Homo-oligomer: A and B are copies of this chain.
């Protein structure tokens, strides 16, 4: 009986932090989705810069990247999600779960460049958008090099 009571108490306590709880396979799927959706929008901005420039299209793309970048995707790196399958097997390297300092640094740079991208997009200056896209892309790679396994 005592252990049942303890379990009940534990359940109540955990329920209080429900906001952080996502199943491992869902967490992997959601983070893969966030990165893929940003990839589409990076690609869109690139095509606008290299082809016919549409200011509104670039603003929409930059706003999506900014909002996803700032959405708090770190919450999706739940315990146990270092291995497993979302849409596909996770390519997250172990360091992303352990090297808090380096992860914090690359995430901060990425957020800064994503916020800047949205600002530059709003100006409609295609050349400036192209330059900022380079910086943003570098900030993506800055994380991928250390923390994303190659296919």
Contacts and interface: CB of A to CB of B under 8 A. Distances in A.
Interface of A: 15-19, 21-22, 26, 29-30, 32-34, 36-37, 39-41, 43-44, 47-48, 50-52, 54, 57, 60-61, 63-64, 66-68, 70-72, 76, 87-88
A43 B75 CA distance: 13
A117 to B, nearest CB: 12
B88 A51 contact: no
Stoichiometry, copies per complex:
2
A66 B63 CA distance: 9
Contacts of A57: 19, 72
Given A37-B30, A40-B30, A72-B57, A51 B16 contact: yes
Contact of A71 (B21, B41, B88): B41
Contacts of A66: 67
A52 B67 CA distance: 23
20 contacts: A16-B52, A17-B51, A17-B52, A19-B47, A21-B47, A22-B40, A29-B36, A30-B36, A30-B37, A30-B40, A32-B33, A32-B87, A33-B40, A37-B37, A63-B67, A63-B70, A63-B71, A64-B67, A64-B70, A68-B68
